[in-house]
Amino acid sequence: MNSQLQTLLENNPRVWRAKDAGRYLMTGTPTGHPQLDATLPGGGWPVNAIMEMVAPQWGMGELQLLLPLMRTITQQKRWILWISPPYIPYAPALERAGIDMDYVIVIQPDNSCKDALWSIEKALQARACALVLAWLDGLPNGVIRRLQLAAETGHSLGVLFRQRNDEHSSAALRLHLHPSEKGVQVEVLKARGTHRYCSVHVNLQLH
Amino acid sequence: MTKSPVVLPLPLSLPSEVPQSASKAEAEILQPLWLALVFPKLALEVHDGQQRDIPAVVVKEYKGRSVVHTASRLAEVQGVSADMPINAAYALCPGLKVYPVNDQSQLQRLQQLAAWAEQFTSRINVQPPQALLLEVRGSVRLFGGLSAIQGQIRQQLTEQWRHSFHSAVTPTPMASLLLAFCGQGDVVQNKQHLRSVLGRLSVNSLPIGFKTKQQLRNTGVRSLRDVWRLPREGLARRFGPELINYLDRTLGLIPDPLNFFTSPDEFEAFYEFPMEVYSTDLLFNVAGQLLQQLAIFLRQRDVCINQCQFQLYHDMHTATDIIVGVRQATRDHQHLATLLEEHLNRLSLKAPVKGIKLTAKDFMLFSPQDFSLFLEPALDQPLTGRESDIGSLLEQLQARMGRDAIKTIHSVADHRPEYAYRVNETVAAKSEHIKQQRPFWLLPEPRLLPQKNHQPWLQGPVTLIKGPERIQAGWWSGRDVRRDYYIAVDNKGSHLWIYQELNEPCQWYLHGLFA
């Protein structure tokens, strides 16, 4: 193989080869939900990456899915940034669920998508901040790729919550949530490191 | 003739050698040592940096005529000298550049120089219009000798300040000033040697009245050595007490108390642009230089700041204020510059800028942060010492989006859901966890739900799953809450937290979402 091509394949984090899928299997963060861990490549949430969660409406378990991760992060005394959440993150409930609110910061830009994107990028680049949750729709093309790079620099995970399903997205993992009786039905739209796109039911104790 | 040195200075030190030398050593420690800095061309040098390479003069008004106050070196070469009428100076040197004398800016520059000299000693006296006195006895050992101090002063004055100067060191302030004014760079460590060193100076250089000088010359006194030979009583009677007083202070026979310079407790730096500026890039460059000055100022005082203020001056408009604030007190000018950049990026100038001023006050003692000596800890380990990282991120966000955009949320003990949390307040005592289920999302204001057949309706029927949980509290504060809360599911599958008012007319409200 061409040596230049070889170096490109080996050093560029954005290029992955199907035969290297095993490499990615090593690196997931456990989600805390056994059904989901079994499905996702790497046995958990991707690391140093951007992830998209498409939910047609809020209030169907989208935060519950991330709850074990958030718990671990605040226990490690690393920070979680919530950028333009649709409602007020309710501190009594989050504390009851085991999240240390001392490590949660809410950013509410004044209705400007540009400011929100800028703050997501800065937050992802900061190493003390481990998880960035952002509620944004209508992202310009190519933005996710840029955020992806920021997440790699800062060794953080960015989760974008969206209400519309945008097919052309370069996020490392894309999930579509469907409401169900006892939890949530998670459809994997795209996952870096696998071809097997499937759907799994996750039991959640919403209330 | 060879006898005279034996006769004059020696008799004092001859008897009883041993005790004398011990007390001499003690006296040397206690004796102050004054370093005088005289800036002969200060009046010219405050104007701008150009006059070094061209013939230039500063003029003053004297009896209705303009006369030369200070001439540059090139002008002096062509024959221009002080107190010469300006016409004569022009005749000698047609290409002469002329500035008016500016006492105010000279005094300002002297004060800046005094602030600069605080790195050498804390005891500084400003002698307007063009001299400084530094008491350096206590600094000699710290700097490794007097010559090291003088070397540093010389280097910084010539390279950074670009001032020409004379300096002299003696145990009395007046003697140092006198020697420096005469351009004699003597170093006299002991008071007893002052007479012989000063003896060679002409009486013309004494800072005394013109009439007294003339009287002295008429009596045949040319140099100070001649004055020393005159009887003291006679001198006092003939020339008045001022001369005797001055000479005694010069020789250190009577004390000479001086006021010490105290540095201003605010930082202020100003830059006036030579032309109007429209671009924020240029503003940023100049502001960066001002911030560097601030950093030096802060370092000298070992303090740091929480915020500094920029003012941009315009023609015909009020000044634009920019306040750069930091969460953790700092003296790092680069950090302040990145924050300023965020402010400038968002700023739209209402008018071209003519000048920029940086002010800072409210200083705090600087305490350095401790950094890890070894490698950064692995990322899956808890980051304990890295809070400063999040601090700088929050500062950047704050600088761009304003203070209100960033929130922390903590819970407090209150049964009423909308009062059970606090924004941007550190809650000292963690509240007891409530036992009942609460949603992750709370609506800022409860949303009124329409009703169909006495049942709540949200774009479809709403099914109640759990409840009711009665919350009844707050009657004491005037914000009475009497509600029955239910957990419900709408027809799309969202889990809702809704309540029914117990007071008439028993409306239904949506208050939260279980996410």
| Chain A closest-CA separation from residue B421 CA (Å) | 6
**What percent of chain A has pLDDT above 70?**
91
Cis peptide leading into B129, omega within 30 of 0?
yes
Shortest CA distance from A103: residue in chain B: B408
Is residue A110 within 8 angstroms of chain B, CB to CB? yes
Tokens of B134: 């530094």
pLDDT of residue B242: 86
CB nearest B515 (choices: A64, A104, A178)? A64
pLDDT of residue B6: 41
pLDDT of residue A134: 92
Q: What pTM, to 2 d.p., does this model score?
A: 0.57
The single-letter code of the amino acid at B146 is: L
Chain B environment of A63 (Cβ under 8 Å): 440-441, 515
Cis peptide leading into B439, omega within 30 of 0?
no
CB nearest B515 (choices: A61, A77, A95)? A61
Indicate if the pLDDT at residue B504 is higher than 80: no
Q: Which one has a higher pLDDT value, B406 or B3?
A: B406
Q: Share the mean pLDDT of chain A.
A: 83
pLDDT of residue B372: 54
Is residue A182 within 8 angstroms of chain B, CB to CB? no
pLDDT of residue B19: 45
Distances (CA, A) of B370 to A134, B367, B373: 33, 9, 9
| Chain B closest-CA separation from residue A154 CA (Å) | 10
- Based on its alpha-carbon atoms, the radius of gyration of chain A, rounded to whole angstroms, reads 17
A51 CB contacts (<8 Å, ≥6 apart)?
Answer: A45, A157, A158, A159, A160, A171, A172, A173, A174, A175
Indicate if the pLDDT at residue B3 is higher than 80: no
Is residue A180 within 8 angstroms of chain B, CB to CB? yes
Cβ separation of B401 and A180 shorter than 8 Å? no
Please write down the HEC assignment for all residues of B117-185. HCCCCCCEEEECCCEEEEECHHHHHHHCCHHHHHHHHHHHHHHHHCCCCEEEEECCHHHHHHHHHCCCC
- DSSP result, B327-381: EEEE--HHHHHHHHHHHHHH---SS-EEEEEEEE---EE--PPP--SSPPPPTTS
pLDDT of residue B371: 55
Q: Is B35 exposed, middle or buried (0-12, 13-18, 19+ CB in 10 A)?
A: buried
With bands split at pLDDT 50, 70 and 90, how would you rate the model's confidence at B433?
A: low
Indicate if the pLDDT at residue B132 is higher than 80: yes
Mean pLDDT of B81-100: 85
Q: Share the mean pLDDT of chain B.
A: 81
Cβ separation of A90 and B390 shorter than 8 Å? no
Kindly report, residue by residue over B315-372, the tens digit of the pLDDT: 888 888 988 888 777 888 888 898 898 888 888 888 889 899 999 988 888 876 655 5
Kindly report, residue by residue over B122-131, the tens digit of the pLDDT: 889 998 888 9
CB nearest B400 (choices: A88, A115, A155)? A115
| Chain B closest-CA separation from residue A3 CA (Å) | 32
Indicate if the pLDDT at residue A132 is higher than 90: yes
Strands (E), chain A: 50-54, 79-83, 88-89, 104-107, 129-135, 157-162, 173-180, 183-191, 199-203
Largest CA distance in chain A: 58
Cβ separation of A128 and B379 shorter than 8 Å? no
Shortest CA distance from A106: residue in chain B: B407
pLDDT of residue B25: 53
Give the number of other CB atoms < 10 A from CB of residue A126: 25
Best residue in A73, A157, A207 for a mutation probing chain B (most B CBs within 10 Å)? A207
| Chain A closest-CA separation from residue B503 CA (Å) | 25
Shortest CA distance from B400: residue in chain A: A115
SS3 A21: helix
pLDDT of residue B429: 62
Shortest CA distance from B488: residue in chain A: A207
Q: How many Å apart are CA A91 and CA B441, to the nearest integer?
A: 9
Indicate if the pLDDT at residue B11 is higher than 50: no
pLDDT of residue B377: 46
B188 CB contacts (<8 Å, ≥6 apart)?
Answer: B169, B170, B171, B175, B194, B197
Give the number of other CB atoms < 10 A from CB of residue B288: 15
Kindly report, residue by residue over B211-249, the tens digit of the pLDDT: 888 888 888 888 888 888 888 888 888 888 888 888 888
pLDDT of residue B16: 43
Distances (CA, A) of B325 to B155, B305, B330, B386: 36, 9, 10, 20
pLDDT of residue A87: 92
pLDDT of residue B417: 85
Cβ separation of A58 and B411 shorter than 8 Å? no
Cβ separation of B515 and A63 shorter than 8 Å? yes
Kindly report, residue by residue over A173-206, the tens digit of the pLDDT: 889 999 887 888 888 888 877 776 788 888 887 7
Give residue for tokens 């958030």.
A70
pLDDT of residue A80: 92
Cβ separation of A89 and B440 shorter than 8 Å? yes
Of A9-18, A133-142, A162-171, B466-475, where does mean pLDDT reach its minimum?
A9-18
Asked whether the beta carbons of B194 and B171 are under 8 A apart, the reply is yes
Asked whether the beta carbons of B168 and B176 are under 8 A apart, the reply is yes
With bands split at pLDDT 50, 70 and 90, how would you rate the model's confidence at B4?
A: very low
| Chain B closest-CA separation from residue A4 CA (Å) | 31
Mean pLDDT of B24-46: 77
Kindly report, residue by residue over A37-50, the tens digit of the pLDDT: 888 877 888 888 88
pLDDT of residue A16: 63
CB nearest B433 (choices: A57, A96, A105)? A96
With bands split at pLDDT 50, 70 and 90, how would you rate the model's confidence at B384?
A: very low
ipTM, 2 dp = 0.86
Q: How many CB pairs under 8 A join A and B?
A: 163
Indicate if the pLDDT at residue B172 is higher than 50: yes
pLDDT of residue A138: 72
CB nearest B441 (choices: A58, A92, A101)? A58
B125 CB contacts (<8 Å, ≥6 apart)?
Answer: B132, B133, B135, B173, B258, B259, B260, B261
CB nearest A59 (choices: B379, B392, B495)? B495
Indicate if the pLDDT at residue B483 is higher than 70: yes
Indicate if the pLDDT at residue B189 is higher than 50: yes
Cβ separation of B383 and A129 shorter than 8 Å? no
Indicate if the pLDDT at residue B27 is higher than 70: no
CB nearest A91 (choices: B411, B512, B515)? B411
Asked whether the beta carbons of B60 and B101 are under 8 A apart, the reply is yes
